[in-house]
Amino acid sequence: MRLRFPLVFLLMICLWGFPVTTGAVEVPVLPVPEEAKAYIPPGDALPNVTARSAVVMEASTGHILYQRAMDRPGFPASTTKMMTLLVALERGNPEDIVTVSAEAADTEGSTVWLEAGERIRLRDLLYGLMLVSGNDAAVAIAEHIAGSTGAFARLMTEKARAIGAADTFFTNPSGLPDARHITTAHDLARIAAYGFQQPVFGDIVRTRERRISNGKPPFFRDLESENMLLWIYDGANGVKTGYTDEAGRCLVSAAKRDGCQLIAVVLDSVYMWNDSIALLDYGFQRVRRRTLLEAGQRISELKVLQGWQDSVPLEAAVQLAVPDFAGNAPACELRLEVPDQLTAPVREGDVVGRAVACFQGRPVAAIDVKAARTVEKKSLLALLWQFVRQILPGK
C-alpha cells in the first residue's frame, strides 16, 4: 500500500488534467408513433392525367406518392434548364459579367433577345433562362462556365449521375431536340428536389417577375414567368415549363404547404396545367407534417466524467419535423448521434451532437442536441477523496 498509493495519486493527477476523448455513437431514440402508420387520406381516387409519363414526389425523402411510367425515357425540352441553372450556380458566380457570343445571340427558339458582344450579369441570364426560357441565355451561360455548350453538357450529365438521375443524358443546355438528349419524369423530379436544397435555385424558380438589364446600349427588360401555377396554385414555388414538337408539353411543378415540399412532373401531356394541379392535389392529400421533437424537449442523458453530477440531460435545440405519408408507406425514424460520454465541465446550451431523421436509412433532416444543464468539474481534492472512499474497506 505504501508504493501503490503514490502511483494511484499520480495517475489521478494525470486523469484530472487531461479530458477523456470518446468516439461518436449512433443510438436509436423515440419509436415511430403508431398513429403515423395509420394515417388515412381524405380521398382515394387516383389523379386523372393525360401525360404519357408523370410523377408526384415528396422532395426531402424522395418518396413517390403517385407515378405513371415515371422511368420511361423521353425528351425533356426546356425542363433541361433546371440542370443548366444548377451547374451555373455551383460553378459560376452570379455577379460575373458574361460577354455574349454571336453563337449565343443567334440561338433558335425562345429568347431573351441577347445581342452579340453585349455584357450582362450571370444573375440576369439565370432569370432569363428560367422565367422566359431563353435559349440564348442558356448558350451564353454554358460558354461562360465551360467554354462550349458540349463541355457544359458533359458537366450537366455528370451532375445528374451524382444526384441519382442515372437515366438522364444531356447534349445541350437548352433542351433543343436531340435523339440522345433524354431523361425520365422520375429523374426530373430528383433534379428539382436537389435544386430545392440550394437556396438561390429556390429563389429563382419561384420568381414571378424580374427586371433585368441587357442590350447595347443597356436597357431594362421586364420578365414574367411562363409558369402559370405560380399565380394560380396555393403554395406553388417552381419550377420549369418545356415544349418541343418531339417532347410535347412538359412541366416540372412544385408547391410547398405546411412545410411539405412536393415536386410534380408531366412529360408529353395534353393538358399539362390540369395534370400538374391534379398531381399536386393528390400528393397533398397524402402527406402531412409530423413533429418528432419539440424545441427544448428532453430526449436522452449522457454520462459525464469528473463532474459533480454523473450525467447531463440532453434536449432538442429547435423543433424537428418530417413528412408523414398515408397508408403503409415507411415512416421517418429518429436517431441520436452523440458521444458515448462527456468530460466535465459541461455548460448548459453546449451542442453535444445532433438528432437525425432518417427515411429508409437516408438522413432527411437534422437538428442540434444540446446539454440541458451545467455540470461543473470536480476539484483534484474531490476526485481524490472519491477514489479513496471507493478503495477503503467497508466503503
Looking at 60, 78, 110, 225, which residue is catalytic? 78
- Residue 262 contacts residue 236 (beta carbons within 8 Å): no
Q: What angle do CA 136, 199, 284 make, to 5 degrees?
A: 100
Q: Report which of 202, 242, 238, 226 is spatially closest to residue 81, judged by C-alpha positions.
A: 242
Catalytic, out of 60, 81, 110, 159:
81
Count Cβ neighbours within 10 Å for each residue of 123-154 and write b for 16 or more, e otherwise.
Answer: bbbbbbbbbbbbbbbbbbbbbbbbeebeebbe
Per DSSP bridges, beta strands 362-371 and 119-121 are unpaired
Length of the chain: 395
- Strands 53-58 and 351-359 turn out to be unpaired
269 Cβ neighbours under 8 A, 6+ residues apart: 49, 50, 51, 52, 54, 248, 249, 250, 251, 275
Burial of 75: CB neighbours in 10 Å, binned 0-12, 13-18, 19+: buried
174: annotated active-site residue? no
Please confirm, yes or no, whether 378 is among the known catalytic residues: no
Report residue 26 as a C-alpha cell: 449512433
Task: Check residue 258 and give left, alpha or beta (phi > 0: left; psi -120 to 50: alpha).
Answer: left
Q: Which of 53, 60, 110, 133 is catalytic?
A: 133
Q: Are 186 and 68 in contact (CB under 8 A)?
A: no
- Which cell numbers hold the place of 188? 426530373
Radius of gyration, alpha carbons of the chain: 28
Report the SS3 class of residue 345: coil
- Annotated catalytic, 60? no
- List, by residue number, the catalytic residues: 78, 81, 133
